[in-house]
Chains A and B, each alone.
Chain A
Amino acid sequence: MNRPLLLPLVTALALAGCGGHPDGDRPVRQLTPTEYNNAVRDLFGFAPGATWPAPPGEDWAEYYEEDEVPHVWPWVFPAEVGVDGFEGFAEGQVASPWGVEQAEAAAAHFARWAPVAPAFWTCDRAAADGDALPDCAWESVQRFAHRAWRRPATEDELARLRAFHDANVAALEVDQGVVQTVRGLLQTPGFLYLVEESPAETAAGNVHRLTQWELASRLSFFLWDSMPDPTLFAAASRGELATREQIATQARRMLDDPRAREAVVRFHDQWLEVDAVTGNRADMGLYGERWAGDVLAQASTEEDALQDREELWSGILIGMRASMIREAQLFVEDRVFGSPGTLSDMLTSTEGWATTIAIEEDPIFDTAALYGATPTGAESRRENTHDDNLPLELELRRVTLPADQRAGILTLGATLAGRAHPVHPAPVLRGVFMLERLACEEIGQPPESAAGTAPPDAIGADSTNRERVAAVTSPAECTGCHERINPLGFAFENFDSVGGWRDTDNGSAVDASGDLIIRGEDTQAFDGPVQLAAHLASSDSVHDCYARTWVRYALGRTETPGETEALRTIQDRFRRNGGDIRDLLVAIATSNLFRTRPTAGGSQ
């Protein structure tokens, strides 16, 4: 009996029956830390990447060096608990004391910029004086509230806001009064939450259409991780988000905006768990010698060789991890926004990125060597990163990866080095990652009996990593899952703990062959990562899984059993259109799932 397989069933029953929350899994969600910061930036009208001026009454020149820019944005919030590694799910969000304190602190911090924010005043602040100024301030506050809440205010809300604002201006004069008012607005639930109201007259269990304003917010936070822009607001105010065509037009326009690139990449960061690579601690003795022997040899001096080499290897690893994350992000961006823009291309492409890592312009490592990559001569981009006090310069270049070794996201540095132990790569982690993230199969955890099980005594000093893992997972209670997990992990045995290619492991030739077993599909034999990637790229299950993950992310919740049909429609269109990712996003935005909200009961 395969115990972990029971879990999805139990979960499904719980969701269908009395589990979940009483209103049926469609709660309002909070802005994620990223969305909060982006929304504040757009609300104030500062361009992405722009330097913010000093707030009024603060003389930065007194405190900072001439070319020193104080850190003002983004605000760092406690990370969300998350659901399946994703932010933005109501159930993964907690109103914690720390979080609420930070919301207050962030509001106090950002509000200082209101009087100098490009998008705040409705009049010319410099020209306005005397009696005109208070009127202009109130007008500006109203417009700011409208945009912060992403909908028109009700009369009651305006009355409360007026009283609050008037008291602030009376106590603090106009500019600082405005700061105080904005500080309050940034803490209101209308700004912090994506509030979607249930009409009182609709019975529980029905579905109702979102208002135009609610839909505009959903669209912008889905495709931009930020608030709607003026065009989207205008469309909502004119009721032009009513038909599928109208929504599709907006969605396509939004996908052409740079904000969409960041948001789409951010989804893939979470889906591929690229951050896992920050846990890579490859052994210096083995991998330092193999991939950075020359640099490490230069570093050593007779006296204290080990310490210097350790320091340098730490620096290399820090640079390598940061590079691999950026390489993965640029790769994903190219695949989604370039041609052909399909999931299949994301799984098989050999166009990638590699990085030269330097300290004070002195190169210490190049991931191109790790990947066996050939530079294409096309653009390169320079970025700086740092860890504590170690400043690193990264030069990212477009490269072509060896077609017989590498294929798409599966063989990215971040994917491989993110699932590796210091000495040996981790086939089990790699296999579970493939099954869970690409095939949406819930593997769960090892059975109770696996805890503390001593490996069978069949491992010798000359065993390969594959043989060791196979031996440990050979007991009968393990094979139910591991017969599917292990082959997917073994497919990548040619990649060592830092994602470099190897032909042998512990003196024996690497065996990267196996069977791909995905539930509901024919078993397919493969030899090596490239063949496996090709199988996955043509798998319906993988396409369905990718579409489903996007749908859940867009809704900020797991679909209910009643919504399977609607999800199916989106998945079918995705497959029919050859796995076109941008089209998938438009399909989600125009779907009934996205445009409606199941009516919650119990609001009386």
Chain B
Amino acid sequence: MTIVNRRRFLQALGLGAASTTLPFWMRGATADDTTGPPKRLIILSSGHGTVWQHWHMNPWGHPDGVQWQESLTGVAEADWSRALRPLYRHRDRLVAVDGLSMASAELDLPGYRHEKGWIHAWTGSWVHFTGDDLFSTAPSLDQIVAAQIGRPDRLASVELSIHGGRPVCHAGLAQQLPLAEDPMAVFDRMFGAAGGASASQGSVLDYVLAEYDALAPKLSAWDRSRMEQHFDLVRALEQPSDRAQTQLPPLRPANMLIEGSIVAYESNVRTGGFGVRYLGIGPSDLYRQDQVTINLRAVDIRSGDIIQSVTTTKTVFSIQLDFGVFKFVSLRHLLEVETGLSRNEPVQQCVREAIEAGLIHLIAQGARDGSWNLKNPDDLKKPLLAGYLKAYDEQTMNTPITAAEQSKLSGEIHAQ
């Protein structure tokens, strides 16, 4: 892991003056690459970037305004910045860049800083004006990569957004891609809805493609290029069904069913008091406590036997911010979640937390009781699972009988 400053980053891109050699972090990136090119790329783009003071780290005390780069391999986890700390264990494969300015965007047309900043950042191209709207003049990074690593039997790229974020995906000149917001629409797109590929889809699309072919010569150059794009996309539709059949692995039946339900839900709003201890709120602040109890059972579908059953109670605290918005705090640490303004969030958040807790609990319990084995048995001693089991034992005031004790016990019973 390396922190690189702006000047060196630009040098690496060949933009800075006197960039004769690549910095070590870029040389290293290809040298230890023995597993072939990456198969997937995920790009997250957040509205106003990261919170700089939580992202930025400088345990070496470099003065401001000076360029520097450091390897973080030897830096203790505690010295990592709050935003980067969760990535600590990937430190050998990380590059963090800090202090960049979108200088080219500042040289583009005046005004429209938000729009042109995003276009420059993801496409590296100049903006294109139509009426009052700005568009890119080139494809964005994700589309260029998708064209290289996308498989014909998969969607090359999926563009998602929360609450209609700013457009960041572009297919080319003035080809801003729509972002999907509706989870149902995304599900239908990824897993298929009505009118999926049928055996004769190929011939339908062949017919459609022939019509595009015939039309193209009658159009102006600009229209033609748009039609060709449409044509290419229709052709891309044709390929998946042809290949998917040979590439999909056979499905295997599931042997276990996990079922469960919410057995209790309590919600309360209080002021000060107990919350002050670790929520860091003033005694006059409102906080809200949601408590969910869920029951999860693992059932062997071949025999109908209940293999494991756990009941878990999870408490989620939320601090009231302005205007009735609650910020959520899980039991032991602040969640790295920025809440929107949706009315259902306290409930959703709490239920999700509870189900996650229940599932981890179920896995841990089952592994300890020998209902199933973890791929790596030592994982049971890891803090996450061990913590849940310990909390469970403390709560129920008992320590479950181990397999060894059980056989000893049954031996005694038989002996009597």
User: Which residues in A have some Cβ–Cβ distance to B below 8 Å?
Assistant: 3-4, 6-7, 10-11, 14, 19-23, 27-28, 76, 78-84, 89-92, 94-101, 104-109, 156-157, 160-161, 164, 167-168, 171-172, 180, 183-184, 187-190, 193, 195, 197-198, 281, 283-285, 304, 306-307, 310-311, 314, 422-423, 436, 442, 444-445, 447-448, 451, 558, 600-603
Contact = CB atoms under 8 A, between A and B. Distances in A.
A108 B194 contact: yes
B115 to A, nearest CB: 8
Interface stretch (B216-224, B292-300, B405-413): B216-224
Interface of B: 109-114, 128-133, 135, 155-157, 159, 167, 171, 174-178, 180, 185, 189, 193-196, 198, 200, 203-205, 207-208, 210-212, 214-215, 217-223, 226-227, 229-230, 233-234, 236-237, 267-269, 323-324, 341, 343
Nearest to B146: A97
A208 to B, nearest CB: 13
A284 B207 contact: no
Contacts of B193: 105
Nearest to A444: B111
Given A97-B155, A109-B195, A310 B112 contact: no
A195 to B, nearest CB: 7
A98 B237 contact: no
Contacts of A76: 185
A189 B343 contact: no
A104 B237 contact: yes
Contacts of B114: 445
A109 B132 contact: no
B200 A98 contact: no
A603 B221 contact: yes
Nearest to B220: A600
A283 B220 contact: no
A6 B236 CA distance: 43
A444 B109 CA distance: 12
A536 to B, nearest CB: 21
Nearest to B224: A603
Contact of B229 (A91, A95, A304, A314): A95
A185 to B, nearest CB: 9
B324 A284 contact: yes
Contacts of A283: 323-324
B212 A184 contact: no
B159 to A, nearest CB: 8
Contacts of B156: 97
B323 A22 contact: no
Interface centre among A3, A101, A600, A601 (most CB of B within 10 A): A101
Contacts of B223: 23, 27-28, 600
B70 to A, nearest CB: 29
Contacts of B174: 21, 91, 94
Given A78-B180, A100-B230, A603 B218 contact: yes
Contact of A307 (B135, B222, B267): B267
Contacts of A168: 200, 203
A36 to B, nearest CB: 14
B324 A310 contact: yes
Contacts of A6: 110
Given A193-B227, A445-B111, 4 more contacts: A3-B111, A91-B174, A160-B211, A195-B218
A311 B343 contact: yes
A286 B216 CA distance: 60
A81 B222 contact: no
A224 B312 CA distance: 58
A104 B205 CA distance: 9
Contacts of A96: 171, 175, 177-178, 233
Contact of A101 (B159, B189, B203, B267): B189
Contacts of B207: 160-161, 164, 184
A602 B176 contact: no
Given A283-B324, A602-B221, A79 B129 contact: no
A84 B132 contact: yes
Contacts of A190: 211, 215
B119 to A, nearest CB: 13
B237 A7 contact: no
A285 B133 CA distance: 38
Contacts of A157: 211, 214
Contacts of B226: 27, 90, 95
B129 A307 contact: no
A7 B214 contact: no
Given A7-B110, A81-B167, A195 B324 contact: no
A105 B230 contact: no
A23 B133 contact: no
A355 to B, nearest CB: 21
Contact of A422 (B171, B210, B215, B323): B323
A601 B194 contact: no
B214 A156 contact: yes
B112 A444 contact: yes
B211 A198 contact: no
A188 B208 contact: yes
A274 to B, nearest CB: 16
B49 to A, nearest CB: 13
For the complex of A and B, the 7 pairs showing the least CB-CB separation, nearest first, are: A108-B195, A600-B220, A78-B178, A100-B233, A95-B230, A602-B221, A314-B343
Contacts of B130: 20, 83, 89, 91-92, 558
A4 B210 contact: no
A445 to B, nearest CB: 5
Contact of A83 (B133, B171, B175, B215): B133
Nearest to A446: B111
A180 B234 CA distance: 16
A602 B222 CA distance: 9
A387 B159 CA distance: 25
A99 B232 CA distance: 13
Given A92-B133, A96-B178, A444-B112, A171 B218 contact: no
A375 B180 CA distance: 42
